[in-house]
Structure 1
Amino acid sequence: MTGDAGERLVDGYALVVFDLDGVIYLIDRPIPGAVEAVGQLHAEGRRVAFATNNASRRSSEVADLLTGIGVPARPEEVLTSAAAAAELLRDRLPPGAAVLVVGAEALRAEVRAAGLTPVSRADESPVAVVQGYGPQVGWVDLAEASVAVRGGATWIATNTDRTLPSARGPLPGNGALVAALRTALGRDPDVVVGKPEPALFATAARRAGEGRALVVGDRLDTDIEGARRAGLDSLLVFTGVSDVAELLAAPPEHRPTYVAMDLAGLFDPAAVVRVPGPADGWSVTSRDGALELSGAGRPLDAVAALCAAAWTGDATRVRAGSAAAGQVLTAFGLSA
Structure 2
Amino acid sequence: MPDPAVVDRLHRVRGFVLDMDGTLVLGDRNNQGLRPLPGALDLVQTLHERSIAFCVFTNGTVKTPAQCADALQQLGLPVLTDDALTPASSAVDVFLERGHRRVMVLGGRGITEPLEAAGIETLPPVRGVRCDAVMAGWYRQELTFEALEAAVFAVLDGAQFYSASQSLFFATAEGRSLGTSRAISAVVRDITGCEVTVVGKPSLSALQTAGRRLGVPSAELAVVGDDPELEVPMAHAGGAFAVAVHTGIGHAESYTDLPAEVRPHLDLPDVGELARLLRS
- Using the size of structure 2 for normalisation, the TM-score is 0.85
Judged with a 3 Å threshold, the aligned counterparts in structure 2 of structure 1 residues 221 and 253 are, in CA distance, closer, same or farther, namely: farther
> Deviation per CA, 1:119-175, whole angstroms, max 9, x where unpaired?
111312122111112333413322210111111111122221111111111111122
How much has 1:248 moved relative to structure 2?
1.8
- 1:102 equivalent to 2:102? Answer no
Alpha-carbon contact 2:42-2:275 (below 8 Å) kept: no
Is 1:58 matched up with 2:64?
yes
**Counterpart secondary structure, 1:110:** helix
Residue equivalent to 1:86: 92
Instruction: Check whether the contact 2:38–2:272 (CA below 8 A) recurs between aligned residues.
Output: no
Structure 2: which amino acid aligns with 1:152? G
Alignment map for 1:194-209 (pairs within 5 Å): 194-206=200-212, 207=214, 209=216
- The amino acid across from 1:130 in the alignment is M
The equivalent residue for 2:189 is: 182
The reply on whether 1:156 has 2:162 as its aligned counterpart is yes
Cα deviation, residue 203, structure 1: 3.2
Report the AA paired with residue 265 of structure 1. E
Q: Confirm or deny that 1:136 pairs with 2:141.
A: yes
Residue 122 of structure 1 aligns with an amino acid whose one-letter code is R
What is the rounded CA distance, in whole Å, between the counterparts of 2:15 and 2:251 in structure 1?
A: 25
Distance 2:203 2:216 in 1: 21
Q: Does 1:249 align with 2:261?
A: no
* Residue of 232, 237, 255 corresponding to 2:245: 237
Q: Which protein has greater RCO, CA pairs closer than 8 Å, 6+ apart?
A: 2
Q: Find the counterpart in structure 2 of residue 76 from structure 1.
A: 82
**TM-score in terms of structure 1 length:** 0.72
Instruction: Tell me the distance in 1 between the aligned counterparts of 2:75 and 2:96.
Output: 33
Amino acid in structure 2 at the alignment position of 1:201: L
Aligned to 2:36: 30
Larger deviation, residues 111-120 vs 64-73: 111-120
Deviation for aligned residue 1:200: 2.0
Q: Percent same amino acid among aligned pairs?
A: 27
User: Partners in 1 of 2:258 and 2:138 — Cα distance?
Assistant: 26
Task: Specify the code of the residue in structure 2 equivalent to 1:113.
Answer: A
Q: SS at the partner of 2:92? A: helix
Equivalence for 2:120? 116
Cα-to-partner distance string for 1:42-96 (whole Å, 9 max, x where unaligned): 13322211112212221111111111111111222122111211332233336xx
Indicate conservation of the 8 Å contact 2:42/2:272, yes or no.
no
CA 124–208 in structure 1, closer or farther in 2 if over 3 Å, else same: closer
Q: Secondary structure at the match of 2:173?
A: coil
Answer whether contact 1:21 1:240 (CA < 8 A) is retained.
yes
d(CA) in 2 for partners of 1:233, 1:83: 22
Name the counterpart of 1:324: none
Count residues in correspondence: 267
Taking a change above 3 Å as real, the CA distance of residues 31 and 252 of structure 1, as seen in their structure-2 partners, is same
For structure 2, which runs of at least 5 residues remain unmatched after alignment?
Answer: 28-33
Corresponding residue for residue 126 of structure 1: 131
Following superposition, the deviation at residue 10 of structure 1 comes to 5.1
Q: 1:44 to 1:157 in 2, by over 3 A?
A: same
**How far apart, CA to CA, are the structure 1 residues paired with 2:119 and 2:164?**
18
> What value does the CA root-mean-square deviation take over the aligned residues?
2.5
Superposed CA offset, 1:224-268 (max 9, x none)? 101100110111000010123332233567421111100122133
Counterpart Cα distance in 1 of 2:141 and 2:118: 23
Pairwise CA distance, 1:32: 2.3
Tell me, yes or no, if the aligned pair for 1:8 and 1:268 is still in contact at 8 Å.
Answer: no
Structure 1 residue runs of 5 or longer lacking an equivalent are 273-336
Question: Which residue matches 1:214?
Answer: 222
What secondary structure is seen at the aligned counterpart in 2 of 1:165?
strand
Give the Å deviation of 1:104: 2.0
Contact map agreement 1:237 1:260 (CA 8 A) in 2: yes
Report the 3-state secondary structure (helix = DSSP H, G, I; strand = E; otherwise coil) of the residue aligned with 2:224.
Answer: strand
Distance 2:211 2:91 in 1: 18
Q: Provide, for residues 284-305 of structure 1, a one-character-per-residue CA deviation record: whole Å limited to 9, x for no partner.
A: xxxxxxxxxxxxxxxxxxxxxx
Shift of 1:101: 0.6
